[in-house]
Amino acid sequence: MSHPFDSLTPDLVLDAVESLGYLSDARVLALNSYENRVYQVGIEDEQPLIAKFYRPQRWSDAAIREEHAFSLELADCEVPVVAPLARDGETLFEHAGFRFALFPRRGGRAPEPGNLDQLYRLGGLLGRLHAVGASRPFEHREELTVANFGHDSLATLLDGGFIPKSLLPAYESVARDLLARLDALFGSTSYRTIRIHGDCHPGNLLCRDEAFHIVDLDDCRMGPAVQDLWMMLAGDRQERLGQLAELMDGYQEFHDFDPRQLALIEGLRALRLIHYSAWLARRWDDPAFPPSFPWFGTERYWGDQILTLREQRAALDEEPLRLF
C-alpha cells in the first residue's frame, strides 16, 4: 500500500513554496526528519527557506496553529526561537492535500554534554520559555500523561504484534509493573502543568555565534516543567547534581521551579522509553522507517529494552535529585 508521503515529490515541494509567492532556484535538500518531512528550499537572490510538511492526520489544524502561535508568542517576548513565517497573517498553508509551513533557516550545533557554562545559559533560555508557557494553557494540544505516553503506548506494542513471542511475557511484565509504579508516582506528586517544548533533547537547542536558540516545537504540549529539563543532564549522580545546580541557577533567574517535580525525572525517562518504541511501531507503515531503523523488531532490540526497563524500575527506588 502506498503512503501519503509517497506523492511528496521535489516538484511538489517547489510548487508549494512558490504558491506563496517565492521564486525558488529549484534546489531542494531533504533534511533529517521522520515524523514530518522537512526540506531546505533555495530561493532566488535570498537565503534558503525551510519547508515543513506535516504528517497527515497527526495534529488537527487548530493544534498546529496553536504550536505556531506559541512560537510567535515566544518570539514577541524575545525568546530566541525559530518561528514560522506568516503570509497575510497565516502560518499554516495547504498545497495538493499537504499542510505545510515555512521557516527561516537557522543552523547551529548541539550543546556539549556536561558543559556547565552552557547549562547555565540553557537554564536561562528554558526559564524564559516556561515563563511564557505558564501564562496560559493550550486548548488544542494534549497533555503528557502516564495514560497517553505509557498505557496507550504499551497497548500499541501488544496489539500490533511487534514484540517477538519469545520475549513478549518478559516485556509485558516489566512494562506493566513499571506503569503501575508510574501511576502511583504521578498520582502522589504535586505539580503544575504548563505549555512546554515537550521534546527538549539537546538537538533541539542549537548554538550559533555563542547564542542558543530553540527549534522544533512540533511536540509542544501541556506538561510538568521538568520534562524540558531532565534531558540536559548526563553522567553519574554526582555529575548530574552539579549540572542540575547550574541549570537551575540560570532557570530561576526567569521562572520559579517547584523542586517537587524532580521526583518525576526517572518516571519521565521511563515514559520516553516506552513511547519511543510505540512511536516506531505506529510509523512502521511509513517506507522511510524500516530502512532507517532496521533493528526494530529484532530479538536483540527487545532484549535490550527489557533490560533497560528493569534498570529504570530500579532507578525509581533511588533518591530523586535534589537542589542544594
Query: Domains along the chain?
Result: 10-104 (3.30.200.70), 116-317 (1.10.510.10)
pLDDT of residue 210: 84
Question: How many CA within 13 A on the CB side of residue 289?
Answer: 17
pLDDT of residue 3: 83
The predicted structure's pLDDT at residue 58: 93
Give the per-residue pLDDT at 298. Answer: 96
Cell 533529517 identifies what position? Answer: 32
Per-chain mean pLDDT for the chain: 96
Give the residues of the chain that fall short of pLDDT 50.
none
Q: Tell whether residue 204 is among the known ligand binding residues.
A: yes
Q: Annotation-wise, does 6 bind a ligand?
A: no
- For the question of whether the overall pTM of this predicted structure is more than 0.75, the answer is yes
Q: Which residues are catalytic?
A: 199, 216
Instruction: Give the C-alpha separation, 12 to 25, whole Å.
Output: 14
pLDDT at 2: 66
User: Cβ-count burial of 134 within 10 angstroms (0-12 exposed, 13-18 middle, 19+ buried)?
Assistant: middle
For residue 204, count CB atoms less than 10 angstroms from its CB and return exposed for 0-12, middle for 13-18, buried for 19 or more: buried
What was the pLDDT predicted at 31?
Answer: 94
Q: So what's the pLDDT on residue 38?
A: 97
